[in-house]
Structure 1
Amino acid sequence: MSRVTINDIARRSGVSKGAVSYALNGRPGVSDATRQRILAVADQLGWAPNRTARLLSGSRTDSFGLILGRDPRTLASEPFSMEFAAGMESELGSRGYALLLQVCPDMDSELATYRTWSSERRVDAAVVMDLRVDDRRLAVLREVGLPAVLVGDPSVTDGFTTVWTDDAAAMDEAVGYLAGLGHRRLARVTALGDLSHVRIRNAAFLAASERHSVGGLTVEGRIVDADLSAAAGRSATRALLEGPDRPTAILFDNDLMAVAALAALAELGVAVPGQVSVLAWDDSPLCEITHPRLSAMSHNVVSFGAHVGRRLFGLIDGAPPGAYLDSTPALRVRASTAPPPPS
């Protein structure tokens, strides 16, 4: 079936092509009655706007872009990204916008995608996640002129509009809670170490471990790099428990690794929380269905995504760049944390 054109609508409506253009684009120049007749005919014929013509006219694309630099196998089971995207969709859908979601396996392909989105006018703006220190994407976004909202600490976003959570304060609360229970040997299983939020959490973890000494005893903190996958959470947990000076409490950078850790500890015959406490991050529904239920540093990821969506609309509507604190993850105590066993 051939595409319905303005000429087709004009012939069926008995008006000029100019009148059809005015009516379809919501411009003055035709009466209300004529406009309604033209719109009714367009609907009957199944007319849809030509995307290329809209782009050439400088109109908006009615879409925003989000690239996820994740292994697709991890994405299938890792709650954060999907909850975040769902939050964005809730905000975008209410205003007739679409989310263009793309998975890129490496930085070069992500940079190429931003260039394509800009040159082909695919999106009105993009969301950039998983920021690095000295992130190459920022220079490319400026070069191609693609508006963007960044998700990350303002210290690494170089003046772009930013939505962030206070990971340093949350980590201080997490370490303080575990130290207060009596734990002196803590471990942290992270996402990849080149991510800026991981570095911020690592620094806060080590600083808090020193600061939260209790009864004259120093809290020791160890860090193990992983990749947010269940397999990495399982292997990191086994390595920590089978090595020297095994920790009595382990903090994980996401829920999926923490859930996998429970399975690894069960396989090793280690009781949770009787012998080892486990603390997750993000607090997805996974934390409620494990045994024991997982304590977590909790924040509303869906609401976080919706907040980013609102900042995207502000950006394209001309709002000046700004840094917006969304939340500070807060401790939610459940059954996976308790005082350590007696020495």
Structure 2
Amino acid sequence: MKEASGRRRTVRISDVAAAAGVSKTLVSYALNNRPGVREETRERIVEKARELGWTPSLPARALSVSRAYAIGLVFEKSPEALASDQYYTSLMAGLQSVLANERYSLVTEVVESTEAEREAYLRLAQDGRVDGMVIVDLRQDDPRFALVREAGLAFVSLGWPPERTTMPVLVYDESEAITDVVRHLVDLGHRRVAQVVGPQTNAPARLRRELYQKRFREHGIDASRWIESDYTAAGGRAATAALLDGDRRPTAIVYSNDLMAVAGMSAAFSRGLRVPTDISIVGWDDITISQYLHPALSTVTQHPFDDGKVAATLLLEAIGGREFVEPVWMPNPRFVPRESSGPASA
């Protein structure tokens, strides 16, 4: 490899990792003939190293297994939104429960723009502060995967990445839970249904909204009424107010998280409406308080603590050189009907 000046530049492990589409740790394992690397992958890495003109450096070899003993997690959201989101606090608790036992740290950053997120990823990678990243809130054509690949970092993805990878990927299927929610509301006689959804730049939020719409249409129900919000209580209350104060008030509202649903119940109560007599409410997440509300919230339960534990375990294995050829399927979300959903009002 040559610099713009024409001088030959030293080829680094990170250059080989980027060219081969693997982590720096895996390149180190392959070039040092350490166990844990599939033979075809080792051959591909060695071939890329040869093409780039890589030669071993004695100081670099001595440091080839040095680590930061930390993994990174960057959130693109406001600190206030993160603080009130029990899903992510539970996810981080699950991550930490594994990392602490392995003497690893969790380095988190909270940013409020895509550019700031990119800078955070580059800073963590270039400063050598982390050995891998946990990637959440996937987006369409998500640029973060290219960033970690170019940096030669291991990662774990919570959701389907935009391209095939040998890194761990955690997935689950929401379709059964959504089908159960829709059948529940249809059986209760609801025909005017609306959604309060998460940011539609978020791929899982968009897919959830679209799947709800598809299932409602299968029952002949117009599912075109939805309002985009931001997963916060304030956003959920404002979106609910717009639906309740508009024409043809819905008899049921489905929310993309429990926090917005709880705030939606508050908006309904402030207008003299009874839940579920006048309007039914269904959430998503099953946060701790959901079952203790009056009425108790019908919702979809998830497993963020377990997701965090499995994500941390597999990421540490990836940092150690393990390759993953198939996604890891987690338990599917499950609908839990409670008192906030009832027969449709006239």
Return the TM-score normalized by structure 1: 0.79
Q: Look up the match of 2:328.
A: 324
Cα deviation code 1:53-109 (max 9, x no counterpart): 9x9564122111111111111122221111110111111112221111111111111
Cα deviation code 1:309-329 (max 9, x no counterpart): 111122112222331121211
Structural mapping, 1:1-343, within 5 Å = 58-152=65-159, 154=160, 156=162, 158-159=164-165, 160-211=167-218, 213=219, 218-221=220-223, 222-321=225-324, 322-341=326-345, 343=346
The Cα of 1:237 is off from its aligned counterpart by 0.6
- Whether the aligned pair in 1 keeps the contact of 2:138 and 2:161 (CA below 8 Å) is no
The Cα of 1:288 is off from its aligned counterpart by 2.2
CA distance in structure 2 between the partners assigned to 1:239 and 1:202 by the alignment: 18
- Whether the aligned pair in 1 keeps the contact of 2:276 and 2:342 (CA below 8 Å) is yes
Q: 1:128 to 1:196 in 2, by over 3 A?
A: same
Tell me the percent identity: 33
The Cα of 1:169 is off from its aligned counterpart by 3.2
- Whether the aligned pair in 1 keeps the contact of 2:298 and 2:337 (CA below 8 Å) is yes
CA distance in structure 2 between the partners assigned to 1:90 and 1:283 by the alignment: 21
Count of residues paired in the alignment: 284
- Whether the aligned pair in 1 keeps the contact of 2:74 and 2:121 (CA below 8 Å) is no
Q: Look up the match of 2:55.
A: none
In structure 1, the gaps of 5 or more residues are: 1-52
Q: CA RMSD in A?
A: 1.9
The Cα of 1:158 is off from its aligned counterpart by 4.2
CA distance in structure 2 between the partners assigned to 1:180 and 1:310 by the alignment: 42
CA distance in structure 1 between the partners assigned to 2:121 and 2:161 by the alignment: 23
Q: Look up the match of 1:49.
A: none
CA distance in structure 1 between the partners assigned to 2:106 and 2:226 by the alignment: 36
Larger Rg: 1
The Cα of 1:202 is off from its aligned counterpart by 1.6
In structure 1, what residue type is equivalent to 2:194? A
SS in structure 1 opposite 2:330? strand
Cα deviation code 1:287-327 (max 9, x no counterpart): 12322111110012211111111111221122223311212
The Cα of 1:157 is off from its aligned counterpart by 5.3
SS in structure 2 opposite 1:192? coil
Return the TM-score normalized by structure 2: 0.78
Higher relative contact order (CA 8 A, sep 6+): 2
CA distance in structure 2 between the partners assigned to 1:320 and 1:176 by the alignment: 40
CA distance in structure 1 between the partners assigned to 2:163 and 2:334 by the alignment: 24
SS in structure 1 opposite 2:153? coil
